[in-house]
Amino acid sequence: MRRLARLAKIVWVAFRFGLDEFPLAGDPTGRWLRRARSLDLFGRYSAPRAVRLRRALETLGPIFVKFGQVLSTRRDLLPQDIADELAKLQDRVPPFPSEVAVAEIERAFGKPIGEIFATFDRAPIASASIAQVHFATLRDGHPAAVKVLRPNMLPVIHRDLELLDAAAGLVERTWSQGRRLKPREVVGEFAKYLHDELDLVREGANASQLRRNFARSPLLLVPEVYWDYTLTNVMTMERMHGTPISQVDTLRAQGIDIPKLARAGVEIFFSQVFRDGFFHADMHPGNILVAADGRYIALDFGIMGTLTDRDKNYLAQNFLAFFQRDYKRVAQAHVEAGWVPPGTRVDEFEAAVRAVCEPVFDRPLKEISFGRVLLRLFQTARRFNLEVQPQLVMLQKTLLNIEGLGRQLDPDLDLWTTAKPYLERWMQEQIGWRGLVRTLVAEAPTWANLLPELPRLAHRALAEDRLKRIEDRLEALVVEERRRTRTLRALAWLAAACAVGAFWLALRG
């Protein structure tokens, strides 16, 4: 019954905001419905379709808002107007009652809140669709931030995900563009990220890994996770002190060098991607503070991206080729990676990439929209049947966040000039003599164990190879002998038949 009631609400909201426009678009069988829509008797189509979609998701609640946020990152699938509008969704929802938060913590630890923390601020400092945060003090006096999941989220999420999947299947069947946009795959991707965010132990592990990666960094601070106070639905971290990065005027008044801060953000991003292959995939301004010494402070580690060495090498080659305007190398890298069909003409792909990228070079960030550049790149990808990699979609989302952050801090930042030296240094470390030395050092323990075994292994291999050749030769001789025997038998039978035939003819004569 609850599911039916929820489904009825979704249908009503969709009708109220005129979302029936989407499946009707391009459908020749829906002409009479489109005529009825053109009358707009209820004023449902007064706003643009993207605005109406955003408002509908906000009306349906926090899970749908978060779905809209994830959907906004799939610019390879969405029209530009919808992607731009969904990017405006803010994950700000009213907090749940403090009494409920306290009850959840006490239930998780099995003791009163006063026995867990020395102090606990019942007024939440931040609230989102999945959890909210309270300040507290540990029993040993350390200030902390306690993140608590909203209660009873799992059944609500499962119910809404089932309805989203059903709606995605309906879109695939009824909208002319539905199959190309792969809405069910998008829902599946969203479900994965959502379930990851529901496990605060996983988020704590992400934070710990990122903290280790930047342990001695002069650029980035990551809070320590207090594991004795962390469970699946409660996570306790070191309380960080800083100014929200969106408050640029305040930072400037504190003496922070804003252009330097913007350049540091670029270096942090490329360090996470190319050095570690492990990057914060939700780097919007709400998740970043700036410490008094000018270092970044990262918060909220529910969504992280990972890259393999192959991914990193592919990306570095492409970035460097872009910076050097070597579009032929960009095209060849895509073909070599197997991300475009093997029969793709490199010269045509090269020309298409050049048409996208050439207009943006030698321009400050304020004159470049990565959103538009990425949109054109994805349009080019569809034209050449490029296979979109999910891990690179996460990277694209992060790059868009970095663009927005950089534009806010220093519109005159030259992203290309800032990033190129770092990428060149990284490539030298990977494929130059430094990379060779590092590889030899990393493989030294394996070789140390293997070298004493080499003579015995070589002798065995040679012996096995010699015996194998003898066995093969004997088997070939046996086969040849069998073939000759069968041939002689056949000739003998033929000779006997001829003799009998001759004898019979002689009797007849």
Residues 6+ apart with CB under 8 A from 467: none
Token output for 204: 């704590």
Token output for 61: 């609640």
Question: Is residue 340 within a helix (H) or strand (E), and if so which, with residue range?
Answer: none
Distance between CA atoms of residues 433 and 425, nearest Å: 12
Catalytic-residue membership of 293 = no
Please say whether the beta carbons of 201 and 230 come within 8 A: yes
DSSP output for 353-392: HHHHHGGGTT--GGG--HHHHHHHHHHHHHHTT----HHH
Please say whether the beta carbons of 121 and 145 come within 8 A: no
Distance between CA atoms of residues 468 and 474, nearest Å: 10
DSSP output for 82-107: HHHHHTT-----PPPPHHHHHHHHHH
Q: Is 206 helix (H, G, I), strand (E, B) or coil?
A: helix
Token output for 196: 């990851």
Least Cα distance to 205 among 169, 237, 244 occurs for 237
DSSP output for 112-155: -HHHH-SEE--S-SEE-SSEEEEEEE-TTS-EEEEEEEPTTHHH
Furthest C-alpha separation in the chain: 131
Pick the catalytic residue from 20, 282, 311, 410. Answer: 282
Angstrom distances, CA of residue 340 to CA of 234, 242, 348, 382, 395: 44, 45, 12, 10, 19
Question: Is residue 421 within a helix (H) or strand (E), and if so which, with residue range?
Answer: helix 415-431
Catalogue the active-site residues: 282
